[in-house]
Every structure is written in C-alpha cells, then in structure tokens.
Structure 1
Amino acid sequence: MIAMIRYLSELLDARGRRHLRVMLAAQAAQGVLQGLGFLFVAPLIATLVSPPVNWSRFWLWLGAIVAAVAVHHVLLAWSTSLGYLVGTDVLTSFHERIGNHLATLPIGWFRGDRTGPIGRMLGKGTMDVANIPAHLLRHVVVGLTAPATMIVGSFLLDWRIGVAFTAGAVLCALALRLLMVIVRRNDDDYEHDIGVTASRIIEYARQQPTLRAYGVLDRPELGTLEDSLVRQQGSQSRLTIRGAWGLIAFFGTLQLVVTAVIALAVALTLQSAITVPVMIGVLIVTLRMLDPISQLGELAGHVQVNADAIGRVRALLAVPPLPEPVSPAEPAGSDIELRGVRFGYDDGPVVIDGIDVTIPSGSFTAVVGPSGAGKSTLLKLVGRFFDADEGTISVGGHDVRELGSAGVSRLTAQVFQDVYLFEGTIADNLRMAAPDASDADLDRVARVTRLDEVVERLPDGWHTRVGEGGSTLSGGERQRVSIARALLKDAPIVLLDEATAALDPANEAAVADAIAELARDRTVIVVAHRLSTVVAADRILVLDRGRITEHGDHDALLAAGGTYARFWNERVRARGWQLATKGTP
C-alpha cells in the first residue's frame, strides 16, 4: 500500500499531494476514532453493572462515544470529498503523463500487438488507478487503523487478550498476503490475455474484407481471435477459482481467530481472571473488529488488481524514450550515410547486420530482397523510428541523434503499405502535411498523384469524409491520398515502404507516376517486392539477412547474374510479365 501511495503522490502536483496527505490523515483518524468508540463501550458497561452506578462516569464515557462517532462522521464526509477530488486529479495527471510519454517513445515501439493493451490501460487502467483514492484507500486505511487501535486498547483490558489479538492479527495478515499473491500472479496472465484479445478484435474488424473474400471466417485453424478468447477465458477462470480459494483461506483464518479469542475471554471469565464487563467489552471489540477486517479481505483482490494496474503503467513509463539533443543540428543537404549499422528488435536476433552505404542527395534508391531481409527496418532506422544499436546514420552530414526526432521528421516524408487516414475530409488528411496549404496546392499534388480522379467522382469532392482509418476509400485511393500528402509536405527525403503492394494495375500506374514525380528533385528510397517499381532507380540495394549483398542499377545487376537476377527471373516466370527495362515508359 505504501508503494501505491508513493506512486499516486508522484502523479500529482503540489496541490494534489497536499490533498492526498490530508485525506490519508483524515482516514487514519477515522480508523482510530472507530476503534476508540468500541473500546469505550467496556468501561461504559462496567460503570452500569458496578453498583452504585457512577452517573458522572457513565455520562463521561457516553459523551466520549458520541464525540468519537460525531467526529468520525465529519472526517468521513470530508475525506470522501477529498478522495473524489484526488481521484479526479490523478485521472487528469495520469492521462497527461501517459500521453506525453507515448509522444516521446520510438515510433517503431507502437506495434500492432500493443494496440489492445494500451487502449485497455488508457480506459480501464486509468479508472482503476483513479479508483484508489476515490474509493479503495479509505476502506484500506480504516481497515488497518481501526483494528490496530482496538488491538492496542485490548492490552488495557487484559494483556492475555491483547496477546491473542496480536497473534490473530499476524495470522490474518499472512492469509491476506497469500490472497494478494494469488491474485497478482493470475491477474498478470489475465491482463495479458485480455490485451491480446483486444488487439485481435481490432485486427478482426479491420481485416473483414480479406477474411470474407477468402471464406475463412468459420475456419478455426486461421482464427487467432477464437484462440485468444479461449486463452482469456482460461486465465479468467484461473483468476476467479484461485482467488476464491484465497478468500476461503483468509476468512477461515479470521473465523478461527475470532473463535479462539471468544473462547479465551470466556475461559478467563470463568476462572475469575477478568470480570464480566471486561468479557463483554472483549466480545464487542472482537465482533466489531470483524467488519473492517472482513471488508479488507473482500477488497484485497481489488487492491491487488489496482496495484497491478499501477505496475503496468510504471512499466510503460519506464520504456526509455529516444534521446533528444538540447540544440538540434542543422543538416547540410539531404544525403544519407549509414556506417557500421547494426540493429535488432528488443532482445531478438540482429535484423540489420553491419550496413555501410551512402545515398546521395537527389538520388532514387530501391531496396529489394527476400521477406525478413531487413528492408522495412532499414527505412525505419533512416526515419528514426528506432536508434541503431551500433554504428551511425547521418542525414545532411549529421547523425540523426544530433538532428533529433523533430528534425528527422521535418526532413522526411514517409509512405507505408498500410495507409491510415484520420477521420475527416480528404483535404483535412492532406493538410496534415502542410496546414497552410492552399486549394491550389491541393489541386497540384492531386493532379500529380491522380488523386483528382478520385476527388472528382466523389459526391462532396475534397470535403468527402473518409471515415475512421479511411474506411470509405479503397486501398488504392488511400495510397494516392498518402502519396499526395507526402508530395504536399515537400520534404527533401521520401521513404516509401511497399507503396505499390496489393494494388490493381490502374492504381499501381498512378502510384508509380507519383513516385516518379517525388524522385524528380528529392532523395527517394523505395522498398518493394514488385520489381517493376524499381527498374528506373539510380541504384538498387539487394538486402539478404540484414546485409547488402549487391548494389547497382537494374541492367548491371541483371548482367551480374546474382541474387537480384534470380529474383527478377523468378518473378517474370511466376507472373508471366514482360517488364520494361530502365528508361522504358
């Protein structure tokens, strides 16, 4: 609990931390007053049953009980309102801190399998964390301080009763600890599985056209969503069943302690070791102690789940951002140079293994090779999605780490195979690259990319809304929008990853024309499986297992008879295409 409170304090500003401290103090005082109120019952009863009745002492103890209850309720109302205030502050700070941190992470960190977990963290996870000060902390603090007060007070009734209460508290604490360990171990698996399921649901929704086109909706061997749901159900069952056994162990221990204390009190009374009023006071304290401790046991699972949520947030915030320079360097040109570059994802194998290459400013370079050769990774390193593990990547004479992420972003325009368009109009999506672009600028890039053909046949033209992710447009139309956006940005370096993959001939021709326009006076790097898109490149880099095995223009590589020539001949035989050579329109 202390770690939870410390982290909540880290999330808050000075005002929020002050409110948190006051709230905790008020809640602790509630627990002490609650314990004292029940302890005062023993001397009150002793006064009544000891003739002659000392009425002044009776009213003294009764007044003490009333005052404890009254102050307790005032503190309850105050701390509850403070809890909601602190919860709101935590929620606001939580979103701001995670949002700011996500903005500093490497772009390549945002893989598809992280969509679901991050979405769940920002939704349910944030509410779990905000729920701690708003609801849980009061029950936890009171559940600890009230029994602690009653245990300390029980020594004043009889030292043997106090020892019995202390021993019972230790046993209950151990049982509670066991319950929380069970919940923590199984909650991690459950949260992982539910995050994977969320990612699979998003994937399942987005891939409906492909799934239906190939009739695989009812084929379980291809249904990772069904597998994810089965795993989630299994982990949820384990969490529920094992958590139930933990609760049984806790409440069984609590009942055993209560029974033992009551038996001890009765035995001591029968032996005349304590008086009947003291025994009655012990029974009252014992039975009233059940309420906060039982509530603590019932909430232990929720407390652990919220603690796990905090742990996942802390793990996210511990992901190191890309280092940014204090004074970013200014590039001199748009030439790109890689020297001794090595890179591997996380703790996985090396993907880029010692690349040395210079890409002159204004050149058109194509990157080809088998799947998994590192082509897309190479582009991501140039665009500073990640930093290289070894070696340097320079743009305009400066290491990309000296330019900073913002500097690299200004220098590059990137087009991916999987184009994502934001909810809004076609014009809105283009103006993301240049907010001040005029209508004439939009028309110019639309003509070059043949996006004007799309705009003209849409009912609302430029003001046509594209839907979430560009769902109202076809794949080829989205790709035209993406390339038009890159052209409008007018960056000196353009990175295209599989820009013509899975396009029909008409869209492929339009995209190829747009790429030719982009290559006119920019440094362009294209990754493609379709070799027809790279025939006109100034230079072709052939990657295999993270290394450049060949480089040269199309004719030279064909004449060399190496990997590129083999790929070319295989594609020609497989497709039956007669592809034009360099220089042929």
Structure 2
Amino acid sequence: MIAMIRYLSELLDERGRRHLRVMLAAQAGQGVLQGLGFLFVAPLVAALTSAPADWGRFWIWAGAIAATVATHHVLLAWSTSLGYVVGTDVLTSFHTRLGNHLATLPIGWFRGDRTGPIGRMLGKGTMDVANIPAHLLRHVVVGITAPATMILGSFLLDWRIGLAFAAGALLCALALRLLMVIVRRNDDDYEHDIGVSASRIVEYARQQPTLRAYGVLDRPELGTLEESLARQQGSQSRLTIRGAWGMIAFFGTLQLVVTAVIALTVGLTLNGSVSLPVMIGVLIVTLRMLDPISQLGELAGTVQVNADAIGRVRDLLAVPPLPEPITPAEPAGTGIELRGVRFGYDGGPAVLDGIDATIPAGSFTAVVGPSGAGKSTLLKLLGRFFDVTEGTIRIGDRDVRELGSTGVSRLTAQVFQDVYLFEGTIADNLRMAAPDATDADLDRVARIARLDEVVERLPQGWHTRVGEAGSTLSGGEKQRVSIARALLKDAPIVLLDEATAALDPANEAAIADAIAELARDRTVIVVAHRLSTVVAADRILVLDQGRITEHGNHESLLAAGGTYARFWHERLRARGWQLTSEGTS
C-alpha cells in the first residue's frame, strides 16, 4: 500500500499531494475512531453490569461512544469528498503527464504492438488509477487502522487475548499478501494478453480486404486475432481461478483466527481469568473486526489490479526520452556523414554494424540491399527516430544529438511506404507540413506530385475527407498526398522508404516524377527497389547484413559484378517476366 500511495503522489502536483495527505490522515483517524468506539463497549458493559450499576461511568462511556461515532462520520464525509477531489486531480495529472511524456519519446518507440496497451492505459487504466483515491484507499486504510486499534486495545483488556489477536493478524496479513502476489503475477499476463488482443483487433479491422481476399475469415486457425483472444481467455481464466484459491486461503485463515480468539476468550471466562464484561467486549470487537478485514480481503484483488495499473503508468513514464540539447546547434549545410554507426533495437543484436558513409548536400542517394539488411533502420536513424548505439550521424558537420529532435525534424521530410493520413480533408493533411500554406501553395505541390489529378476527380476536391488513416483513398493516392506534403514542407533533406513499392504503373510514374522534382535542389536518400529510381541516383549504397558492402554509381557497381550486379540482374529478370506475362494475358 505504501508503494501505491508513493506512486500516486508522483502523479500529483503539490496541491494534489496536499489533498492526498489530508485525505489519508482523515481516513486513518476514521479507522482509529472506529476501533475505539468498539473498545469502549467493554467498560460500558462493565459499568452497567456492576452491582449496583455505576450509572455515572455508564454515561461517561456512552458519551465517549457517541462522540467517537459523530467524529467518525464527520471524517467519513470529509475523506470521501477529498477522495473524489484527489481522484479528479489524478485523472487530470495522469493525462497531462502521460501526454507530455509520450511527446518526448523517440518516434521509433511507437511500434504497432504498443497501440493496444497505450489505448487501454489511457482508457481503462485511467479509471483504475483514479478509482484508487476515489473509492479504494478509504477501505484499505480503515481496513488496516481499525483492526490495528482494536488489537492494541485488546492488550488492555487481557494480554493473552491481545497476543492471540496479534498472532491472528499476522496470519491474516500473510494470507492477504499471498492473495495479492497471486493476483499481481497473473494480472501481468492478463494485461499483456489483452493489450495484444486490442492491437490485433485494430489490425483485424484495418486489414479486412486482405483477410477476405485470402479467406482467412473462414479459417480462424490462421488468424492471429483468434490466437490472441484465446490467450487472453486463458490468462483471464488463470487470474480468476488462482485468485479464487487465494481468496479461499485468506477467508479460511480469517475464520480460523476468529474461532480461535472466541474459543480462547470463552475458555478464560469460564475458568475465571476474564470477567463477563471483558468477554462481551472481546466478542463484540472480534465480530466487528471481521467487517473491515473481510472488506480488505474482498478488495485485495481490485487494489492489486489498480496498483499494477499505476505501476504500468510509472514504467511508461520511466522510458527515457531522447536527450535534447539546451541550446540546439545550427548546421553549416545539409551534407550527411555517418561514422562507425552501430544500432540494435531495444538492446538486441546490431541491425547496423559499422556504417561509414558520406552523402553530399544536394545529392540523390539510393540505398539497396536484401530484406533485413537495415535499409529502413538507416533512414530512421537519419530522421532521429532513435539515437545510434555507437558512432555518430552528422548533418552539416553537426551531430544530430546537438541539433535535437526539433532541429532534425525541421531539416528533414519523410515519406514512407505505409502512409498514414489523419481524419480530415486532403488540404488539412497537407497543411500539417506548413499550417500557413496558401491555396496557391497547395496547388503548386499538387501539380508536382500529380495529386491535382486526384483532387480534380473527387466530388469535393480539396475538401474531400480522407477517412480514418486515409481509408477513402487508394495506396497510390495516399502516397501522392505524402509526397505533396513533403514538397510543401520544403525541407532540405528528404528521406523516402519504399516510396514506389507495390504501386500500379500510373501511380509509380507519378511518384517517380515527384521524386525527381524533390531531388532537384535537396539532399534525397531513398530506399528503392525500382530500377528507374536506382539508375537515376547520383550514388548507390549497397547494404548487406547491416554493413555497406559496396558504394558508387550504377555503372561502376554493375561493372564490379558484386552484390549490386546480382540485385540488378534479378530485377531485370523479374521485370522481364512481368512484361512477358502482361503481353500474353
């Protein structure tokens, strides 16, 4: 519980932390008063059963009980209202801090498999965290302080009964700890599986054309969605069943302790060691103690799940952002230099290992190589999606770490094969690159990217909404929007990854013309498979197994007869097969 309160405190500002401290103090006072109220019953009964009845003492203890109950209810109302205030504070701080932190993380951190977990964290996780101060903490604090007060008070009634209570409380605490460990271990698996399922559901919704084309909808054994849902169901079953066994162990221990204390008290009363009023008081305390402890056991699983939610938020907030310079440097040009560049994802094996290359300003460089060679990773490092593990990347004689993420973003425009367009109009998506762009600017870049052909045939032209992720446009049309957006940004360095892959001839020709326009007065680096793009490059870098094995222009690399020559001849054979197939169809 202490760790959970500490994590909550980390999420709050100073005002929120002050509210949290006051709320906890009020809840602790509420628990102490609840325990005292029941302890006061023993002297009350003693005053009433004495011969003759001591009405003076009776009314003193009755007044003490009444004052305790009244103060308890005042603290209950106050702590409950404070709980909602702190819950609201946590909710606000949660979104603010998480949003600000996500904006500082490396772009490459945002992989597809993180969509589901982050969405769940911002949805259910948000409510789980806010639910702790609003509803759960009061039961936890009272469930600890009320029994603790009654146990300490029982020593004043009889030290043997006090020891029995203390030993029983230790056993209950161990059983409760076991229950929470069981929940925590199984909840981690469940949250992981449900996050994966959420990502797969998003994928399933977006990839309906492919799934239907290949009949995967009729063959669930091939679909990762069904597999992930089955894993989620399994982990949920394990969480429920093992949690139930933990609950049985806890409540069994509690009942055993209560039975033992009652038996001990009755036995001590029968042999004359304990008076009847004390026995009545102990029985009332014992039975009353069941309520907060039972409630604590019933909520233990929920408390642990919500504490795990805080832990996941804390882990996310602990993901280090890219280091940023206090005063970003200004590059002396747009030439790019890579020296000893080594990089592996998440501390894994090196994807790029010892890359050395110089890309002059205003040049057109093509990067080729087999799948898995590290081509896309190289472009991501140039755009500072990540920082290199070893070595340096310089733009204009300045390390990209000295330029900062904002500086690198200002210098580069990126176009990737998987184009993402935001819900809105085509004009809105272009103006992301230049919010102040005029209609004339849009028309200019649209003509270069051949996007004007698309805009003219759409019923609402520039005001046509593209749908979620650009779903109303074809792949080639989205790529033209992406190229036009890069042109509108007018950055001196353009990074293109598979920009013409998997396009029909018309779209490929349009985008190839746009790339040629981009290369007129910019530094362009393109990962390319199309022969026309490769031949047009001033310089070609050949990557294989994370290293640059060859570099030069098309003619020199072809004459060398190495990896590039094999690549070229394979592409020629593939294109010849396509041409022959088209001619005979």
* TM-score normalised according to structure 1 size: 0.98
Q: Deviations over 1:281-339 (max 9, x none)?
A: 11100000000000000111111111111111111111111000011100111100000
Q: Deviations over 1:247-271 (max 9, x none)?
A: 0000000000000000001101110
Question: Residue 436 of structure 1 corresponds to which residue in structure 2?
Answer: 436
Question: Residue 407 of structure 1 corresponds to which residue in structure 2?
Answer: 407
**What is the Cα deviation at residue 507 of structure 1?**
0.8
The runs of at least 4 aligned residues of structure 1 exceeding 3 Å deviation read none
Question: Residue 328 of structure 2 corresponds to which residue in structure 1?
Answer: 328
The SS at the match of 1:535 is: helix
Q: Deviations over 1:214-270 (max 9, x none)?
A: 222222343111110111111111111000000000000000000000000110111
Question: Residue 113 of structure 2 corresponds to which residue in structure 1?
Answer: 113
Question: Residue 228 of structure 1 corresponds to which residue in structure 2?
Answer: 228
Is the Cα–Cα contact under 8 Å of residues 500 and 511 in structure 1 kept in the other structure?
A: yes
Stretch of structure 1 that moved more, 167-176 or 123-132: 123-132
Supply the distance in 1 between the matched residues of 2:485 and 2:332 (Cα, whole angstroms).
24
Q: How does 1:308-387 map to 2 (within 5 A)?
A: 308-387=308-387
Question: Residue 190 of structure 1 corresponds to which residue in structure 2?
Answer: 190
Is the Cα–Cα contact under 8 Å of residues 165 and 261 in structure 2 kept in the other structure?
A: yes
Q: Deviations over 1:181-234 (max 9, x none)?
A: 111111111111111111111111111111112222222343111110111111
The SS at the match of 1:316 is: helix
Supply the distance in 2 between the matched residues of 1:313 and 1:188 (Cα, whole angstroms).
13
Query: Which amino acid is 1:81 matched to?
Result: S
The SS at the match of 1:328 is: coil
The reply on whether 1:159 has 2:165 as its aligned counterpart is no
Question: Residue 534 of structure 1 corresponds to which residue in structure 2?
Answer: 534
Q: Percent identity?
A: 88
Q: How does 1:237-316 map to 2 (within 5 A)?
A: 237-316=237-316
Is the Cα–Cα contact under 8 Å of residues 151 and 162 in structure 1 kept in the other structure?
A: yes
Is the Cα–Cα contact under 8 Å of residues 422 and 470 in structure 2 kept in the other structure?
A: yes
Supply the distance in 2 between the matched residues of 1:26 and 1:529 (Cα, whole angstroms).
68
Supply the distance in 2 between the matched residues of 1:345 and 1:186 (Cα, whole angstroms).
28
Supply the distance in 1 between the matched residues of 2:151 and 2:529 (Cα, whole angstroms).
75
Query: Which amino acid is 1:85 matched to?
Result: V
Stretch of structure 1 that moved more, 136-145 or 208-217: 208-217
Question: Residue 582 of structure 1 corresponds to which residue in structure 2?
Answer: none
Supply the distance in 2 between the matched residues of 1:489 and 1:220 (Cα, whole angstroms).
44
The reply on whether 1:557 has 2:547 as its aligned counterpart is no
Question: Residue 583 of structure 1 corresponds to which residue in structure 2?
Answer: none
Supply the distance in 1 between the matched residues of 2:577 and 2:504 (Cα, whole angstroms).
15
Stretch of structure 1 that moved more, 318-327 or 41-50: 41-50
Query: Which amino acid is 1:240 matched to?
Result: T
Question: Residue 215 of structure 1 corresponds to which residue in structure 2?
Answer: 215
**What is the Cα deviation at residue 533 of structure 1?**
2.3
Stretch of structure 1 that moved more, 51-60 or 182-191: 51-60
Query: Which amino acid is 2:540 matched to?
Result: I
Q: 1:32–1:514: structure 2 CA closer, same or farther, 3 Å change rule?
A: same
Is the Cα–Cα contact under 8 Å of residues 186 and 238 in structure 1 kept in the other structure?
A: yes
**What is the Cα deviation at residue 530 of structure 1?**
2.6
Supply the distance in 2 between the matched residues of 1:407 and 1:218 (Cα, whole angstroms).
50
Supply the distance in 1 between the matched residues of 2:538 and 2:403 (Cα, whole angstroms).
27
Is the Cα–Cα contact under 8 Å of residues 415 and 482 in structure 2 kept in the other structure?
A: yes
Supply the distance in 2 between the matched residues of 1:477 and 1:213 (Cα, whole angstroms).
21
Q: 1:526–1:33: structure 2 CA closer, same or farther, 3 Å change rule?
A: same
The SS at the match of 1:473 is: coil
Is the Cα–Cα contact under 8 Å of residues 572 and 578 in structure 1 kept in the other structure?
A: no
Supply the distance in 2 between the matched residues of 1:205 and 1:139 (Cα, whole angstroms).
42
The SS at the match of 1:313 is: helix
Is the Cα–Cα contact under 8 Å of residues 34 and 69 in structure 1 kept in the other structure?
A: yes
Structure 1: gaps (5+ residues): 580-585
Supply the distance in 2 between the matched residues of 1:285 and 1:530 (Cα, whole angstroms).
82
Supply the distance in 2 between the matched residues of 1:159 and 1:308 (Cα, whole angstroms).
39
* TM-score normalised according to structure 2 size: 0.98
Stretch of structure 1 that moved more, 395-404 or 10-19: 10-19
The reply on whether 1:169 has 2:169 as its aligned counterpart is yes
Supply the distance in 2 between the matched residues of 1:535 and 1:232 (Cα, whole angstroms).
50
Is the Cα–Cα contact under 8 Å of residues 360 and 523 in structure 1 kept in the other structure?
A: yes
Query: Which amino acid is 1:357 matched to?
Result: A
Q: How does 1:20-39 map to 2 (within 5 A)?
A: 20-39=20-39
Question: Residue 126 of structure 1 corresponds to which residue in structure 2?
Answer: 126
Query: Which amino acid is 2:472 matched to?
Result: T
Supply the distance in 1 between the matched residues of 2:56 and 2:307 (Cα, whole angstroms).
50
Query: Which amino acid is 2:238 matched to?
Result: R
Question: Residue 147 of structure 1 corresponds to which residue in structure 2?
Answer: 147
Query: Which amino acid is 1:467 matched to?
Result: G
Is the Cα–Cα contact under 8 Å of residues 7 and 311 in structure 2 kept in the other structure?
A: no
Question: Residue 458 of structure 1 corresponds to which residue in structure 2?
Answer: 458
Supply the distance in 1 between the matched residues of 2:52 and 2:223 (Cα, whole angstroms).
83
Query: Which amino acid is 2:159 matched to?
Result: W
Query: Which amino acid is 1:453 matched to?
Result: E
The reply on whether 1:523 has 2:523 as its aligned counterpart is yes
**What is the Cα deviation at residue 3 of structure 1?**
1.1
Supply the distance in 2 between the matched residues of 1:162 and 1:92 (Cα, whole angstroms).
45
**What is the Cα deviation at residue 559 of structure 1?**
2.0
Query: Which amino acid is 1:418 matched to?
Result: D
The SS at the match of 1:340 is: strand
The reply on whether 1:418 has 2:418 as its aligned counterpart is yes
Query: Which amino acid is 1:264 matched to?
Result: L
**What is the Cα deviation at residue 155 of structure 1?**
0.8
Supply the distance in 1 between the matched residues of 2:101 and 2:183 (Cα, whole angstroms).
29
Query: Which amino acid is 1:217 matched to?
Result: L
Is the Cα–Cα contact under 8 Å of residues 493 and 524 in structure 2 kept in the other structure?
A: yes
Query: Which amino acid is 1:333 matched to?
Result: G
Q: Deviations over 1:68-107 (max 9, x none)?
A: 1111111111101100100110111111111111111111
Question: Residue 583 of structure 2 corresponds to which residue in structure 1?
Answer: none
RMSD: 1.1
Supply the distance in 1 between the matched residues of 2:77 and 2:417 (Cα, whole angstroms).
57
Supply the distance in 1 between the matched residues of 2:552 and 2:569 (Cα, whole angstroms).
17
Supply the distance in 1 between the matched residues of 2:578 and 2:421 (Cα, whole angstroms).
35
Query: Which amino acid is 1:363 matched to?
Result: S
Q: How many residues align?
A: 579
